[in-house]
A and B are shown apart, each in its own frame.
Chain A
Amino acid sequence: MNSNKKDVYQWFRSTIPQQRISIGSVNEKVWKFYDYGPKDITPLVFISSGTSEIHYKQFVSLCPKGYRCISIQFSPYDTIQGWCRGFDRFLDRLELDKVHLFGSSLGGYLAQCYYQQKPSRVLSMILNNTFSDTQYYHDNSSCSAMFSILPEFMLKRIILSNFPQGLLDADIAETVDFMVDQIENLSQEELASRLTLNCSPSGVINPSVGLENITIIDSLDATSVPERLREEVYKYYPQAKIALLKTGGDFCYISRSDELNVHIQVHLRQYGLDPVNNISNSNNNNSNSNSSNGDGNHSFEIESKGKSIKESDIIQ
């Protein structure tokens, strides 16, 4: 079981290349990301505080169905405004006029902040185990002004102290292990930036400007974001569709990826992306263009089907 999960990850890494864009002028501002799927489709952009790899299970499941996924690992910024400007420029560079956003935890907060600044660019949002106000973190961090000068190991320790501990379901425990591994790949600057953003003073999000196209996916047993903060998000967006998962912990995009992916599909279908229509369209109308440019995609599909069969075998 363990080795097979690793296979899926290895396969993801060996199939989809990580890309880098630097949007800085004097200082390098490198954004790392994965981008896969048809280029003419509005992408779903995954924002998280972790590495760009952590959404691999969404790529493996959604891309073969015709969705375009982009997962980012953002360059270090120390203010929310700076981050939003940077993200905006990043989207410019990728020539994306409109995006769907998926944000978990700090990523969800950043997605909401970006929506406040550039509502016209955001078609819809999926928020996952996140918060709408950083006041709680601002109040509870003793050294938020000093993150940038703390050594790497201390920053890691601060982040890991928030990770779930104790008795956990096997899937969730495995996921936590994976996430701990991934933290190793973040530099001191990146870690410091994420903590600083997470503990920045509150008041960025204005609840009166509510986007309607929102799905909030929360797992009931998540612990790193207190329930009170998660419920506040529901109040900020009374129109949002709330999709609860019984279990899954803080990183349900890995531990409960199949359920979460269903929610993503249901969400995107409501807001314009419909896999069934896409398939029938491409079969009926674009069959020519498909065969001409679809060679790469084709092998992707076959490969991933092989994987998914394996996965379901294990589950049974």
Chain B
Amino acid sequence: MATKKKVLLKVIILGDSGVGKTSLMNQYVNKKFSNQYKATIGADFLTKELMVDDRVVTMQIWDTAGQERFQSLGVAFYRGADCCVLVYDVNVAKTFENLDSWRDEFLIQAGPRDPDNFPFVVLGNKIDLENQRVVSQKRAASWCQSKGNIPYYETSAKEAINVEQAFQTIARNAIKLEDGLVFPIPSGIQIQPEPTPAKSGVCC
């Protein structure tokens, strides 16, 4: 059994409350959608196995609370993230304007090694409500370009539009980071007994 090392990708979804973070995750993992809104408390995760370039990858998707008062878990779950998904509602301008602060928040809390090249993906959700739209595709795309060419998808968790494609891109970008990390890991500490140097009589 020559199995490759298991790959775990940690993905974190951020965005204002009510933009559809939980719905997107549920649509992708469980293929379900519910119109009822229930605020996420703290954070929860779902896992999904998928194939990326012939490798089996386990994606651990963390759905977070958009409302600050529910963020009770602290920042521990940010640690070791491989990709961050920023979600906004194309029908609410404020949620788009807040993307900047969500991105900054993530970079501060997660403290990735290389913040400039850390993989983000932006999702403009709820495009099924087309007639209420206030944020144009052009505006969103230019914001993404200005932040270092962040991939941008317009999705609908309700109608399952672009959800699969978006998460494929998320996985692909996350795995790039994971692969890249193989190289710079510093050498660990050896705990096997090493030959102790002969004691010199002098202290220190």
Chain A residues at the B interface, C-beta cutoff of 8 Å = 65, 165-170, 172-173, 176-177, 220, 241-246, 258-259, 261-262, 265-266, 269-270, 274-276, 316
Give 17 CB contacts A-B under 8 Å.
Answer: A166-B191, A167-B187, A167-B189, A169-B188, A169-B189, A242-B47, A243-B60, A245-B8, A259-B76, A261-B76, A262-B73, A265-B73, A266-B43, A266-B44, A266-B73, A276-B41, A316-B111
How long is the Cα–Cα vector from A261 to B42 in the complex, in angstroms? 13
B41/A274 in contact, CB under 8 A:
yes
How long is the Cα–Cα vector from A176 to B72 in the complex, in angstroms? 30
Chain A, residue nearest B41 (CB): A276
Distance (whole angstroms) from the CB of B190 to the closest CB of chain A = 6
Chain A residues closer than 8 Å to B74, beta-carbon distance: 258, 262
Chain A, residue nearest B80 (CB): A246
A266/B189 in contact, CB under 8 A:
no
Chain B, residue nearest A260 (CB): B76
Interface centre among B5, B45, B189, B191 (most CB of A within 10 A): B191
B31 adjacent to chain A (CB < 8 Å): no
From known contacts A220-B8, A243-B45, infer whether A275 and B76 are also in contact, taking CB-CB under 8 Å: no
B45/A266 in contact, CB under 8 A:
yes
Number of A-B pairs, beta carbon distance below 8 Å = 72
Distance (whole angstroms) from the CB of B98 to the closest CB of chain A = 22
User: Chain B 70-104, CB within 8 Å of chain A: the 1/0 string?
Assistant: 10111011011000000000000000000000000
Chain B residues closer than 8 Å to A173, beta-carbon distance: 188-189, 191
B188/A168 in contact, CB under 8 A:
yes
How long is the Cα–Cα vector from A168 to B189 in the complex, in angstroms? 6
Chain A residues closer than 8 Å to B77, beta-carbon distance: 259, 262
B58/A244 in contact, CB under 8 A:
yes
B6 adjacent to chain A (CB < 8 Å): yes
Closest 9 CB pairs of A and B: A258-B76, A167-B188, A173-B189, A262-B76, A244-B8, A168-B188, A262-B77, A173-B191, A276-B72
B158 adjacent to chain A (CB < 8 Å): no
Chain B residues at the A interface, C-beta cutoff of 8 Å = 5-6, 8, 10, 41-45, 47, 58, 60, 70, 72-74, 76-77, 79-80, 111, 187-192
A265/B42 in contact, CB under 8 A:
yes
How long is the Cα–Cα vector from A265 to B77 in the complex, in angstroms? 11
A167-B190, A265-B72 known; 20 new pairs, CB 8 Å cut-off, are A65-B72, A165-B192, A166-B191, A170-B189, A172-B188, A220-B5, A220-B6, A220-B8, A242-B47, A244-B8, A245-B8, A246-B10, A246-B80, A259-B76, A259-B80, A262-B73, A262-B76, A266-B43, A274-B41, A276-B72
Chain A residues closer than 8 Å to B111, beta-carbon distance: 316
Chain A residues closer than 8 Å to B73, beta-carbon distance: 262, 265-266
Chain A, residue nearest B71 (CB): A276
Distance (whole angstroms) from the CB of A142 to the closest CB of chain B = 25
B8/A246 in contact, CB under 8 A:
yes
Chain B residues closer than 8 Å to A262, beta-carbon distance: 43, 73-74, 76-77
Residue from A166, A172, A220, A245 within 8 A of B190 (CB atoms)? A166
How long is the Cα–Cα vector from A261 to B72 in the complex, in angstroms? 12
How long is the Cα–Cα vector from A270 to B44 in the complex, in angstroms? 9
From known contacts A244-B58, A259-B79, A265-B73, infer whether A176 and B191 are also in contact, taking CB-CB under 8 Å: yes
Chain B residues closer than 8 Å to A167, beta-carbon distance: 187-190
How long is the Cα–Cα vector from A260 to B8 in the complex, in angstroms? 16
How long is the Cα–Cα vector from A258 to B76 in the complex, in angstroms? 6
Chain A, residue nearest B9 (CB): A246
Chain B residues closer than 8 Å to A172, beta-carbon distance: 188
